[in-house]
Amino acid sequence: MNRSRLVWALGIAQILAWSTTYYLPAVLATPISKETGWSITRVVIGLSWGLLVAGACSPLVGRLIDRRGGRSVLATSSVLLALGMLLMGSAGNLITYYLAWTLIGAGMAAGLYDAVFSTLARLLGNNARASITGLTLLGGFASTLGWPLITGLEGLIGWRYSCFTLAAAHLMIGLPIHLLAIPRNKDLPVEPAPLAAPPSGTHPGSSGNGIFLLLATLLTLLSLVVSSISVHLLEVLQLLGIATATALAIGMMIGPAQVAARLAEFSIGRRLHPTWSARIAILLCGLGIALLLPAIPWLAFVALALYGAGNGILTIARGTLPLALFGPEGYGRRMGLLARPMLIAQASGPVAAALILERFGSTPLLIVMCVLVAGSFLTSLALPAK
């Protein structure tokens, strides 16, 4: 099995999957609202509903990957996402629209990072860390490539035919990648690759111990922060008194910073235990959010670069921490259990953040975000780091 070819293939599929799920409303929410007359809020709620569906499905997805490998699961995700996009493009009412997001949510559970991380761990065992890092490096281009491409499509053929085109892309690009790049079940080891001994205090067959609960708490708190910042960043910057054009430029710092941090993780950070990588990433995120409080434009550029770097490393830690702490055995099931509260947090975080913004303003919201990051850092101190 050629690992480099596998990572590149799955990376391309991830760009397609993220562009047409998590990042889709950023491009199509306004056109959908204008044509249908549905409010932006009702349109965006579709993503929140999809995330909740994904959270409900994730534990089952993890168990299936542990038992059968990821080939059939990821191939199914391409079909589900294609069906969801077809249904969205033909939606004439909100019920049909939310049904489309139900299919997309199931496809997200079966086809985004958690499922692919589990597939790599099933194939590569403890040697999956470098491949997970490489995959997130490629997946980080989803918004960079997806947003302009989908925006261009929408401008040429409208949002409905854009959805139909994206459905075809899942069937003509994503599905063949998953079927051809991932080894068949008969080629998979009966058990994952040889295990390194997990840290003391952990048990590779247990998902209910204290270490697992600490890890779930850490990742869920960070999911609340990241989802809230992602949705409300521009509004927060504007409420701080930063001009719209400057706020847009500041927000653009996140993407390059994520890529730079993932490159650093790939080249230098691999020598660190993932717990230390996570601690450094959490500190970077917290420092970045705190530096927004003075509302100084030049300092905000620095803040978002630090935040983006931390967020980029945390995406990797989300996959490598469970692998380092518990080993590959039962990794898919464990990732599925971790994904459920994280996805619920991603669905509810922006809503709670919007309420805080509306009632109290941007500064209290940033303080709440800093408190959540501090809580996640304190939690990380209780995790094994060797």
Predicted confidence band at 151 (pLDDT cuts at 50, 70, 90)? confident
Residue pLDDT, tens place only, 160-191: 999 999 999 999 999 999 999 998 764 555 44
Residue 196 has pLDDT above 50, yes or no: no
Which range is least confidently modeled, 109-118, 216-225, 241-250, 285-294? 241-250
Q: What is the pLDDT of residue 305?
A: 92
Average pLDDT of the residues in 10-28? 88
Give the chain's domains with CATH numbers.
3-187 (1.20.1250.20), 210-380 (1.20.1250.20)
Residue pLDDT, tens place only, 337-359: 888 899 889 888 888 888 888 88
List, in sequence order, the alpha helices (H) in 170-273: 175-181, 210-239, 244-251, 254-267
Q: Are 329 and 307 in contact (CB under 8 A)?
A: no
Q: What is the pLDDT of residue 202?
A: 47
Q: Are 292 and 234 in contact (CB under 8 A)?
A: no
Q: What is the pLDDT of residue 191?
A: 43
Predicted confidence band at 336 (pLDDT cuts at 50, 70, 90)? confident
Residue 48 has pLDDT above 80, yes or no: yes
Residue pLDDT, tens place only, 266-284: 777 677 888 998 999 999 9
Long-range contacts of 250-256 (CB under 8 A, 24+ apart): 250/297, 250/300, 250/301, 250/304, 251/304, 253/301, 253/304, 253/305, 253/308, 254/304, 254/305, 254/307, 254/308, 254/311, 255/140, 255/143, 255/144, 255/308, 256/305, 256/308
Q: What is the pLDDT of residue 236?
A: 85
Q: Can you tell me the distance from the alpha carbon of 43 to that of 101, in angstroms, rounded to the nearest whole number?
A: 10
Residue 229 has pLDDT above 60, yes or no: yes
Q: Look up residue 32 and give its amino acid.
A: I
Residue pLDDT, tens place only, 119-131: 998 888 878 888 8
Q: What is the pLDDT of residue 100?
A: 96
Q: What is the pLDDT of residue 1?
A: 59
Q: What is the pLDDT of residue 290?
A: 95
- Establish how many alpha carbons lie within 13 A of residue 340's alpha carbon, considering only the half-sphere containing its beta carbon: 13
Residue pLDDT, tens place only, 27-43: 888 889 899 998 888 88
Residue 153 — φ and ψ, nearest 5°? -60, -45
Q: Are 75 and 129 in contact (CB under 8 A)?
A: no
Q: Can you tell me the distance from the alpha carbon of 81 to that of 111, in angstroms, rounded to the nearest whole number?
A: 9
Residue 72 has pLDDT above 80, yes or no: yes
Could you tell me which residue, 95 or 68, shows the higher pLDDT? 95
pTM reported for the whole predicted model = 0.81
